């Protein structure tokens, strides 16, 4: 069964606790938290203190996606705040191998993220080191964007590569997930779907989660 990580970027910020409970009651496996710095991507979102408060309220693990320049400066702080998975962008990390091990030494699972325009082959040297590969299926920075179909070839590559090399990392996708694109991603080999607007704006979140996970 596919796992689900609702993105709090699309939640109701005035009732964030209620949104967290909605996700948990619907059967979500993780809460996806997009941390943006206004430099690596053109937006500002959750900081360390907010992640700490979310961790206190949540009963499911926090999947923290750092869209930051110099993410190595913040790994230990987000781990201490309650992150269970920390993912960093290959495009922001010239020393990606070092940062992957920094994340693991901080007690978290390590993920590496790539933007839609980055070739999957860019990650082959570290795929044996990571717990998670996160393929962005929109350009990062804002919620509510349309899925980029060309990213499916990267997903298929990661799925085939782990089979051929006996690896066990999970494949996650983030951006433009709905009924149609979820099926396309699952067919390509995705394990975890990040769903923002499609999940939080749905009238029946349990039915939406059941569909995405089935």
Max distance between CA atoms of the chain, in angstroms, equals 47
pLDDT value at residue 140? 82
Counted domains in the chain: 1
Banded model confidence at residue 23, pLDDT cuts 50, 70, 90: very high
The burial class, CB within 10 Å (0-12 / 13-18 / 19+), for 127 is middle
Tokens describing residue 33: 């938290």
pLDDT value at residue 42? 86
Banded model confidence at residue 135, pLDDT cuts 50, 70, 90: very high
Q: Which residue has the tokens 């809460």?
A: 31
**Residue numbering of the annotated binding site:** 7, 32, 34, 65, 141-144, 174-176, 196-197
The candidate with the shortest Cα–Cα distance to 141, out of 51, 36, 47, 48, is 36
Banded model confidence at residue 3, pLDDT cuts 50, 70, 90: very high
**Residue numbering of the annotated binding site for substrate:** 7, 65, 141-144, 174-176, 196-197
- d(C-alpha 120, C-alpha 152), whole Å: 11
Please, which residues have CB within 8 angstroms of residue 152's CB and are 6 or more apart in sequence?
184, 185, 188
Taking only the tens place, the pLDDT of each residue in 26-84 is 999 999 999 999 899 988 999 999 999 999 999 999 999 999 999 999 999 999 999 99
pLDDT value at residue 5? 98
Q: Is 34 a catalytic residue?
A: yes
Q: Which residue has the tokens 């009963």?
A: 59
SS3 (DSSP) at 91: helix
| In 109-211, beta strands by DSSP E | 109-114, 132-136, 170-174, 192-195
pLDDT value at residue 138? 94
Taking only the tens place, the pLDDT of each residue in 137-147 is 999 876 777 89
Q: 1 pLDDT exceeds 90? A: no
Q: Determine the structural domain holding residue 181 and report its residue range.
A: 3-213
Q: Which of 22, 29, 34, 63 is catalytic?
A: 34
Q: Which residues pair with 123 in a beta bridge?
A: none
The length of the chain is 214
- d(C-alpha 207, C-alpha 83), whole Å: 27
Q: How far is CA 130 from CA 100, 118, 163, 197, in A?
A: 7, 18, 15, 28
- d(C-alpha 210, C-alpha 177), whole Å: 14
- d(C-alpha 159, C-alpha 133), whole Å: 10
Q: What percent of the chain has pLDDT over 90?
A: 93
Banded model confidence at residue 127, pLDDT cuts 50, 70, 90: very high
Q: Is 63 a catalytic residue?
A: no
Domain of residue 82, CATH code: 3.20.20.70
As a three-state string, the secondary structure of 105-122 is HCCCEEEEEECCCCCHHH
**Residue numbering of the annotated binding site for a divalent metal cation:** 32, 34, 65, 174
φ, ψ (nearest 5 deg) of residue 180:
-75, -50
Q: Which of 22, 37, 131, 174 is catalytic?
A: 174
């Amino acid at each position: 069964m596919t796992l689900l990580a609702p993105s709090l970027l699309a939640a109701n910020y005035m009732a964030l606790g209620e949104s967290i409970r909605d996700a948990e009651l619907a059967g979500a496996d993780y809460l996806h938290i997009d941390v943006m710095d206004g430099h690596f991507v053109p937006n500002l979102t959750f900081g360390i203190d907010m992640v700490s408060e979310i961790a206190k309220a949540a009963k499911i693990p926090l999947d923290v996606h750092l869209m930051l320049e110099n993410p190595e400066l913040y790994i230990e702080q987000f781990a201490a705040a309650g992150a269970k998975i920390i993912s960093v962008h290959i495009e922001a990390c010239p020393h990606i191998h070092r940062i992957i091990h920094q994340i693991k030494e901080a007690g978290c699972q390590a993920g590496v993220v790539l933007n839609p325009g980055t070739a999957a082959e860019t990650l082959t040297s570290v795929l044996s080191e990571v717990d998670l590969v996160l393929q962005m299926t929109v350009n990062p920075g804002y919620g509510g964007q349309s899925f980029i179909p060309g990213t499916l070839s990267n997903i298929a590559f990661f799925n085939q590569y782990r089979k051929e090399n006996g690896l066990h990392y999970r494949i996650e996708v983030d951006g433009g997930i709905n009924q149609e694109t979820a099926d396309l991603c699952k067919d390509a080999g995705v394990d975890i779907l990040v769903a923002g607007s499609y999940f939080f704006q749905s009238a029946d979140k349990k039915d939406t989660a059941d569909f995405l996970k089935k």
